[in-house]
Amino acid sequence: MPELMPMIHAERASLAEFLEPLSAEQWATTTWCPKWNVQELVGHLTAAGNITAGHFFPGFVMSGFNFDKFVDKDLRSYAAGSPTQVLDRFKTIITSIRKPPGPAYVALGEIMVHSEDIRRPLGVTGDHTADALTTLAEMYKSTGAPLHAKKRLVGLKLRATDVDWSTGQGPEITGPAMSLILAMVGRAAALDDCAGDGVATLRSRA
């Protein structure tokens, strides 16, 4: 397995640099996670970078074993205050080696996907290394709940146009690797960057 933490740290640093000059209005923009704005989603990423088993499992129980409820409650203290305060908190976890419970790729997926959830409503796409893109695409393609990528990709072929990566058989979807990754985890708007006979099918499965 590739060494993931250096990729995660680089992705966090890149997002911090992007966030630095944003206006208050931009921090209030709704992200591609529509229940959260930019400030709240950065708070979520900070919470994820501070997670420990001793914090997660009691909090999960207290949230009635509802993962979404736990996550939303957990981010609030990290998203409180001004954008500058929120960004300062995020910067403290750039080199953190903590990650959410689950497979090793979870933290990489969190920062790469959510950084695009933040950037794309603001009209920007991130600059990700080929190694990070191919690693995440390969790991995400067979995921079940809660991402459901495996189910979405049944009977389809995805082929990246910017890195050497493809998967599956069937009607093809071509596009930038990050857009394919976003589409496989339900961000239908990312398919606007893609082409091929399989686009409509994947869009219907978002």
Q: How confident is the model at residue 61 (pLDDT cuts 50, 70, 90)?
A: very low
The burial of 175, by beta-carbon neighbours within 10 Å (0-12 exposed, 13-18 middle, 19 or more buried), is given as: buried
Q: How confident is the model at residue 60 (pLDDT cuts 50, 70, 90)?
A: very low
Q: Per-residue pLDDT for 1 more than 80? A: no
Q: What pLDDT is recorded for position 37?
A: 97
Q: Residue 160 — φ and ψ, nearest 5°?
A: -75, 145
Q: Per-residue pLDDT for 99 more than 50? A: yes
Q: What pLDDT is recorded for position 57?
A: 44
β-strand 157-160 against 166-168: which pairing, if any? antiparallel
Q: Is residue 112 part of a domain?
A: yes
Q: How confident is the model at residue 49 (pLDDT cuts 50, 70, 90)?
A: confident
Quote the CA–CA distance of 100 and 66 in Å, as a whole number: 15
Q: How many residues does the chain have?
A: 206
Q: Is residue 85 part of a domain?
A: yes
Q: Per-residue pLDDT for 59 more than 60? A: no
CB 164, CB 184: distance < 8 Å:
no
Q: What pLDDT is recorded for position 146?
A: 86
Structural domain boundaries enclosing 148 = 142-204
pLDDT digits (tens, 9 = 90+) for 22-46: 999 999 999 999 999 999 999 999 9
Structure tokens at 126: 């991130």
CB 78, CB 43: distance < 8 Å:
yes
Closest CA to 160 of 189, 127, 193: 193
Q: Are residues 11 and 83 in the same domain?
A: yes
Q: Are residues 81 and 167 in the same domain?
A: no
What is the number of alpha carbons within 13 Å of residue 160 lying toward its C-beta?
23
Tokens 């930038």, residue located: 176
CA 36 to chain centroid: 13
Q: Give the residues across from 37 on adjacent strands.
A: 30
Q: Per-residue pLDDT for 148 more than 50? A: yes
pLDDT digits (tens, 9 = 90+) for 171-191: 999 999 999 999 999 999 999
Q: Residue 100 — φ and ψ, nearest 5°?
A: -60, 155
The residue out of 87, 122, 157 marking a domain boundary is: 122
Q: Are residues 37 and 109 in the same domain?
A: yes
CB 39, CB 135: distance < 8 Å:
no
pLDDT digits (tens, 9 = 90+) for 152-173: 999 999 999 999 999 999 999 9
Q: Per-residue pLDDT for 69 more than 70? A: no
Q: What pLDDT is recorded for position 140?
A: 96
Q: Is residue 132 part of a domain?
A: no
H-run or E-run covering 167 = strand 166-168
H-run or E-run covering 170 = none
Domain total of the chain: 2
pLDDT digits (tens, 9 = 90+) for 3-24: 999 999 999 999 999 999 999 9
Q: Per-residue pLDDT for 58 more than 50? A: no
